[in-house]
Each structure stands twice: as C-alpha cells, then as structure tokens.
Amino acid sequence: MKLLVAVKRVIDYNVKIRVKADKTGVETANVKMSMNPFDEIAVEEAIRLKEAGAAKEIVAVSMGPQGCQETIRTALAMGADRGIHVLTDIALEPLAVAKLLKAIIAKEQPGLVILGKQAIDDDCNQTGQMLAALMNWPQATFASKLKLTAETAEVTREVDGGLETIAIKLPAVVTTDLRLNEPRYASLPNIMKAKKKTIDQTTPEALDVNVQPRLTTLQVTEPVKRQGGKKLGSVEELVDKLMHEAQVI
Ligand code: AMP
C-alpha cells in the first residue's frame, strides 16, 4: 500500500510570533520555518507502518513557496521515499489544499492519506475533513492509535471524556493527534541519503486547481498583554481586593 502524507511548512513552534505593523498578517521574513508538528507525527506514523510491513511506499506532499522543498527534505530524511511539491506563492486555504491533494491522489492512488489534525499557523483543523468529503472517503480524525489491515484502518480517537476506537474502510483519510507517537530525529546518514531522493515539482495550474483565496482577513492582532501579578500579605488583604478592586465577591 502507498501512503500519502501532507507536510506543511509553518513558522517554527519555538519562534515568538510578531504581527506586521499594518495588521495584515504575521512577519515571516527571516523567521525560522519548520514542518508543522502534527505533520511530523504523520510522517513518523507512516514510517512505522512501513517498518511494520503494512505499507510499501511513503510519498510526502507539501504545497506553497520554494521553501517547502526543505520541509519535504525533512520528511525524506526521516524516512519518506519521495516527495511532491506543489509550487505556488498564493496563500493556500484549506479548501485549496484539499483540492490539490485530491488531484494528487488521482495520480498516485494511495491507500491511506495521513495529515496533521491542524496546522499551527492557521489553526484551521479543516483540510483532512474537506479532503475526505471531496474524495467521498471515510475519515478518522484526531488519531491517537492506528492499526492497518489490507482493507481497513482501526483508529483510536481522543474524544471528550475518553477514547473511541473506530474501524474505517480503505482508502481513507486519517488526521494525527499529539499522542499518536513521538517523531524521530533524522540521523546524519539519513539526511545525506535524503539528498538523493526525488522531489517532483508541479503547480496548481498543471493540476488544474483554482487556488485563489476565498476568504478576506480583516485584521490580525496580538493577544492582549497580561497584567503583572502581585503578592499579597494576608488573606484579609486578598478578600479586600476581591471585594473592592475586582468586585467578584
Ligand atoms: P489545517 O486544516 O490548515 O489546520 O491543516 C491540517 C493539515 O492539512 C496539516 O497538518 C497538513 O497535514 C495539511 N496541510 C495544510 N496545508 C498544507 C500545505 N500547504 N501543504 C501540505 N499540507 C498541508
């Protein structure tokens, strides 16, 4: 079985995000970019499935500017077999990504597509669901455990108050949750080997997908600054402040 894994290039989760002065978005110039953490988990899961003999080939797909090649290389260094880069400088919305993935699925015919449950830059949590709808395939979102047979995927999902285990028919879409696995670091020999692996490049036009944005961002602002805390000397002082300053009692 072939596995398709979607890997998005996002601002590294350690970077302190700065909003642009004109409030149209966030600063990305000279900012460290990395693979979306949930997508690292998706790549790791695909590699484990291959190592366990449940899959034969892993194809990592990324969509966006030229820098996405680096993100695909990271997936290849972790253990993916080859990459596909859909080159575009247009900011892609989840529906556009889902449509591009659908076009790639038509060519690649994977048995399973694994995505992150959400990208940490737009926090949309939409692409996997939209892709399943466009394909008319079953979906299992927020996977914390995944078992494959030739025809089904058994997926444990984190739901409110516990775990739910469902079985879905393949081909299907699975999105990863945080506790599915701990992604490996790419070793130096594997980073070197990854340089020789193929990355095919295509474009939305070549895939015949219109990716023009449909949403308008009105404004991006920083979170309200938190006020500093203060240590009080006694319970009486606390009660007094709660009554007269905060007026909560
Ligand atoms: P979102 O719906 O934007 O929160 O993204 C959910 C998942 O869709 C991500 O974790 C990725 O697996 C995939 N995805 C979204 N955008 C892209 C992109 N530009 N390139 C590759 N994968 C993407």
pLDDT of residue 225: 86
Q: Reply yes or no on whether the pLDDT at 29 is more than 90.
A: no
User: Using CA atoms, how far apart are residues 199 and 60, in angstroms rounded to an integer?
Assistant: 9
Domain assignment present for residue 238? The answer is no
Ligand 1: nearest atom to the Cα of 38:
10
Q: For 40, list phi and psi in degrees, rounded to 5.
A: -60, -40
Q: Reply yes or no on whether the pLDDT at 91 is more than 90.
A: yes
| Domain enclosing residue 83, as ranges | 2-224
The rounded mean pLDDT for the chain is: 96
pLDDT of residue 112: 98
Q: For 86, list phi and psi in degrees, rounded to 5.
A: -95, 105
Domain assignment present for residue 115? The answer is yes
Sign of CA pseudo-dihedral 123, 126, 128, 131: negative
Domain assignment present for residue 184? The answer is yes
Q: For 179, list phi and psi in degrees, rounded to 5.
A: -90, 15
How close is the Cα of 165 to the center of ligand 1, in Å?
Answer: 24
Specify the CATH number for the domain of residue 81.
Answer: 3.40.50.620
| Residue closest by Cα to atom 14 of ligand 1 | 8
CA 221-227-228 angle, 5° bins: 135
| Residue closest by Cα to atom 19 of ligand 1 | 63
Q: Reply yes or no on whether the pLDDT at 34 is more than 90.
A: yes
| Residue closest by Cα to atom 17 of ligand 1 | 8
60 touches ligand 1 (CB under 6 Å): no
Q: Reply yes or no on whether the pLDDT at 248 is more than 90.
A: no
User: Using CA atoms, how far apart are residues 242 and 248, in angstroms rounded to an integer?
Assistant: 6
